[in-house]
Amino acid sequence: MAGEPQEDCLFCKIAEGHIPATIVRETGTTVAFRDINPQAPTHVLVIPKVHYENAAELAAAEPAIAADVLREAKSVAEEDKLESYRIVFNTGSGAGQTVWHAHAHVLGGRGLHWPPG
């Protein structure tokens, strides 16, 4: 059921504390942790504790929690003292989504060119 933890979801397991991660922030609704394959000096994933497949589904079902994810992305950037940063939500395999749990990538600490490629 949407919103409920999924037994086969890596990010649900991280949110529940069943799989270790380098957690940098946690709130009642979100968890932020360092990406294990960083693409920039700062590469942190911010996930909602509720399970939705992608950011669009999360925003439609629980807009307040979607806002929490963005708020925490900003807090991560501030804590890492980033003057410039990018927040990325991949939706679908063609866009690079590999974990089917909504999440934001916070990237910074180096030049981020456009288009991203």
Active site residues: 103
Q: How many CB atoms lie within 10 A of CB 7?
A: 6
In Å, how far from its chain's centre is CA 40?
15
Label residue 25 exposed, middle or buried (CB < 10 Å: 0-12, 13-18, 19+): middle
**How far is Cα 43 from Cα 28, in angstroms, rounded to an integer?**
22
First to last CA, the chain: 34
